[in-house]
C-alpha cells in the first residue's frame, strides 16, 4: 500500500503558470497524494483557477489567507494541515516530471530514507529549456549545506512520521534553506534520488532570481536563526559566494 504524500504549494498572483503546475501533479504516476494550496490573497485569477481543479479532483485543497502573509507563513499553514506520511514541496510556477513521486518515494522506501531531493532542469518563463541541469551532491549533511544550499525546494521530500513536522523560519527569503538546515539537525543526511525529476522556472522578477543578492539573507539565516557566531556566519557566507562564482 502506498503512503500519502502531502504536497505543499504557496500561491500568489500565479495565474500564468499555476494550471500547468497543478496538471503536473495530477499527471503523477503515483496517485496517493494531496495537494494543499495556500493562496496569499491573490489579486489575479489564481483562486478561480485553483477552484476549477478542486471541483473535479478532491485531492486538491485550497486554503485562503485572510491577509497577505508571505510564502513562509503560507507554506507553514499547509504543513500544519498536511496529513501525509511524506511532505513534499512544489511552488506554483515549477513543474514535476510525471514519475517524480513514484521514483522518489520508491527510492526512499527501498533505502529506508527520511529526507531526499533530486536533480532538476531549468526552464524560462515560457517553459523552454535553458539547457542547464542542477545536479546536487549524492549525499548532504548539515555542514555541507551551510556552505551552499544544494536542495531545490521543488525536489525535497521528508518523512514527517519519523522526523515530525518541520516548519520554515518566518523570514522573507531563504525559508526553504532554513527548513533543510532544521531537518538536518535531526537526521544526519539527505540523499539524492536518481534521475532528473523536476523543472525549475527562472523568472525575471522572482525573489530568487538574484543569487548573489540573496547572500545577505544567508548571513541573517546563519546568525539569527541558526545561532552561529558572526565570524562563522561570514565564513559560511564566503563559502556560498565561492560556490556561486564557480558555477
The string of pLDDT tens digits covering residues 66-87 is 999 998 999 999 999 999 999 9
**Does 125 lie in the same domain as 243?**
no
**Does 159 lie in the same domain as 128?**
yes
**Does 162 lie in the same domain as 238?**
no
The rounded distance, in Å, linking the Cα atoms of 193 and 119 is 8
| Residue 67: per-residue pLDDT | 93
**Does 223 lie in the same domain as 153?**
no
CB crowding 79-102: b at 16 or more within 10 Å, else e: beebebbbbbbbbbbbbbbbebbb
**Does 100 lie in the same domain as 34?**
yes
**Does 240 lie in the same domain as 166?**
no
Cell of 38: 495556500
CA dihedral (238, 243, 245, 246) in degrees, to 10, reads: 140
**Does 173 lie in the same domain as 119?**
yes
- Beta strands 95-96 and 33-39: pairing type? unpaired
- Span 95-133, pLDDT tens digits: 999 999 999 999 999 999 999 999 999 999 988 999 999
Can you give the CATH number for the domain in which 31 is found?
Answer: 3.90.550.10
**Does 87 lie in the same domain as 123?**
yes
**Does 111 lie in the same domain as 12?**
yes
Looking at residue 2, what DSSP letter applies? P
For residue 230, give its domain range. 210-247
**Does 174 lie in the same domain as 244?**
no
Cell of 181: 538546515
What pTM did the predictor assign? Answer: 0.93
**Does 147 lie in the same domain as 38?**
yes
Residue 245 CB: number of other CB atoms within 10 A? 8
Counting the structural domains of the chain, the total is 2
CA dihedral (191, 196, 197, 201) in degrees, to 10, reads: 110
Helix axis angle, 46-56 relative to 18-26, nearest 10°? 20
**Does 194 lie in the same domain as 236?**
no
Amino acid at each position: 500500500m502506498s503512503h500519502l504524500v502531502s504536497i505543499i504549494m504557496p500561491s500568489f498572483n500565479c495565474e500564468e503558470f499555476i494550471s500547468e503546475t497543478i496538471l503536473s501533479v495530477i499527471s503523477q504516476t503515483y496517485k496517493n497524494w494531496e495537494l494543499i494550496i495556500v493562496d496569499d490573497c491573490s489579486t489575479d485569477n489564481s483562486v478561480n483557477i485553483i477552484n476549477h481543479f478542486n471541483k473535479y479532483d478532491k485531492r486538491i485543497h485550497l486554503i485562503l489567507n485572510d491577509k497577505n502573509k508571505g510564502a513562509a507563513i503560507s507554506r507553514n499553514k499547509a504543513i500544519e494541515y498536511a496529513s501525509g506520511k511524506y511532505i513534499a514541496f512544489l511552488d506554483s510556477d515549477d513543474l514535476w516530471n510525471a514519475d517524480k513521486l513514484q521514483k522518489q518515494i520508491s527510492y526512499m522506501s527501498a533505502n529506508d530514507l527520511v529526507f531526499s531531493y533530486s536533480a532538476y532542469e531549468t526552464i524560462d518563463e515560457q517553459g523552454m529549456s535553458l539547457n542547464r541541469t542542477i545536479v546536487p551532491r549524492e549525499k548532504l549533511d548539515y555542514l555541507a549545506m551551510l556552505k551552499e544550499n544544494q536542495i531545490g525546494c521543488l525536489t525535497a521530500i521528508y518523512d514527517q512520521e519519523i522526523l515530525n513536522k518541520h516548519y520554515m523560519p518566518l523570514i522573507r527569503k531563504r525559508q526553504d534553506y532554513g527548513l533543510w538546515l532544521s531537518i538536518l539537525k535531526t537526521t544526519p543526511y539527505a540523499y539524492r534520488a536518481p534521475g532528473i525529476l523536476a523543472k525549475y522556472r527562472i523568472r525575471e522578477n522572482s525573489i530568487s532570481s538574484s543569487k548573489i543578492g540573496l547572500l545577505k539573507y544567508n548571513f541573517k539565516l546563519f546568525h539569527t536563526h541558526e545561532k552561529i557566531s558572526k565570524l562563522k556566519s561570514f565564513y559560511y557566507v564566503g563559502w556560498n559566494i565561492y560556490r556561486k562564482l564557480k558555477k
